[in-house]
Amino acid sequence: MSELNSGLSVSKYFGRRLVELVDLPVGARVLDVGFGLGSSLFPAAQQVGPKGQVIGIDIDEERVEKTAAFILERETENAQVLRMDVLQMSFEDDFFDFMLGGFIVPYLFKPNTQQIAPEVCRVLKRGGRVGFTTWDYIEDDDRMIAALKEELPSEIEGRNLSVYTSYPVHELEVSFSEAGFEDVTHLREVAEFVYPDIEKWWSAVQYQSWIRCYKEIESRGPGELERFKEATYRKLKDQESSEFRFKVSVDFFFGLFE
């Protein structure tokens, strides 16, 4: 198990690990589906080098705009992002050498395998490889949800606040095989994230799916979100230490398109 002391966000760490494990060669052309804010896209662009190319697609216009701005800011000339639906991609057949997807497996392969698989395979070259991640568990998920339920009991009643959805490994392996991928392999990794202070912890969690709840707290008046942040941090961290730490377990899936 890896221990991370830098306050690195979960998505950035596992995005980088996905690129490392899929072993992208220099010069490869890579499709990043559902790139979010570039947790896999930027490491992939660095790995394939100036002769390679990484194209990210996402249907969320705000994420596309933000990540496009990051690309310009970082002068990452071999990467670009497009607003595009994975069901209707405008790329030519056999266009990509690799395909990556960070935490989008449930959206791609359950329950839409028959719809999405042909389009995914169409844009991949024969011999192309895919690499995807999905959650196993996030240790702080239940604790943050409990804090939000205490703070917003009526506002969030009946709402699914979980950051992740976990699926049985065997079901996902079957879905990958049904999608047309061969040599499907699975790897599980656990990392412990250590946040030495409240600001590093908050910067890692504030943009997760709980952001709607944070906005509702903030709307109550000046200082309300800061009060919640400090109170929640005190509850979540180890009472005998100034640090806050939690474990995250992630499943990696790899396959070959023959």
Please report the domains of the chain, with CATH numbers, ordered by start residue.
2-257 (3.40.50.150)
**Number of helices (H) and strands (E), helices first, in the chain?**
10, 8
Alpha-carbon torsion, ordered 98, 247, 189, 38, to 10 deg: 10
State what percent of residues in the chain have pLDDT above 70: 88
At 43 the pLDDT is 97
Distance CA 175, CA 181 (A): 9
Per-residue pLDDT for 139 more than 70? yes
Residues 6+ apart with CB under 8 A from 251: 133, 134, 135, 136, 169, 172, 186, 187, 188
- Is residue 216 a contact partner of residue 155, using CB atoms and an 8 Å limit? yes
Express each pLDDT in 94-132 by its tens digit: 999 999 998 876 666 655 556 667 888 899 999 999 999
- Global pTM reads 0.84
Express each pLDDT in 189-241 by its tens digit: 999 888 888 888 887 776 666 878 888 999 999 999 999 999 988 887 766 77
Identity (one letter) of the amino acid at 74? R
Residue 37 burial (C-beta neighbours within 10 Å; 0-12, 13-18, 19+)? middle
Query: Mean per-residue pLDDT for 143-156?
Result: 87
**Tokens matching residue 8:** 């690195």
